[in-house]
Structure 1
Amino acid sequence: MADARHPARPPQPPIRRDWWSKSFAGVLLGFTLAIALSGLVTWVGPGGPLAMNKFQFTMWIVAPVWLGVVSFCFLFRSGLRAWLWLGGANLLAYAALLASRGPLPH
């Protein structure tokens, strides 16, 4: 019952069905993408993986990248697009990481 002290609240819209899919894509694929990009910073950045204090930086860069991906995953039109685009970004990032490490040992 609404009165002057407690006005009636409008009904809340339900959570859209694709938000769960987008959320899981952002959390799972966003984490793996952040790990790959952190590895790229390690191998391609100045000094290579042996540069002084680089391990701290690459460790701490994972969280902001991951949170950025999770935040922006809701801009995709559908959950399927989020999975496909983030999956493709993961494939590209890991391919670049593999290529940046040099030739494979025999």
Structure 2
Amino acid sequence: MWGKSTAAVFLGMPLSVLVVGFAALLSHDQASTTLPWLLLFFLVWIAVMTCTFLFRTGLRAWLWMGGLTIAGYAALHFLKASGLVRIAA
């Protein structure tokens, strides 16, 4: 139980930031859709932390959530570095 709880606490927020960031970044009109996505952040964060407890063990929770977080941030870095996605000013 401690493994799942620590995975939820330490990996829940970065994974939620990643999900909301991708949704806001890939929207067609970033200027008008970013604020609603940011307002939904808390609900996404709670959902991610709740889903952590669906794993059988704490190790699986750490590995899956850590792997998704690393892969997601690597994909985000690749998209921004390659110029495929731009942040609207």
Would the aligned equivalents of 1:39 and 1:97 in 2 still touch at CA under 8 Å? no
**Structure 2: tracts of 5 or more residues without a match:** 84-89
Q: Which runs of 4+ in 1 moved over 4 A?
A: none
1:55 has 2:34 as partner: yes
The higher-RCO structure (CA 8 Å, 6+ apart) is: 2
TM-score by length of 1: 0.68
What is the aligned-residue identity percentage? 35
The aligned counterpart of 2:87 is none
TM-score by length of 2: 0.79
Tell me, which stretches of 5 or more residues in structure 1 are unaligned? Answer: 1-18
* Pairwise CA RMSD: 1.7
Cα offsets for 1:10-39 (capped at 9, x unmatched):
xxxxxxxxx121011012211100111111
Structure (1/2) with the larger helix percentage:
2
Number of aligned residue pairs: 83
Kept after mapping to 2: 8 A contact 1:26/1:73: yes
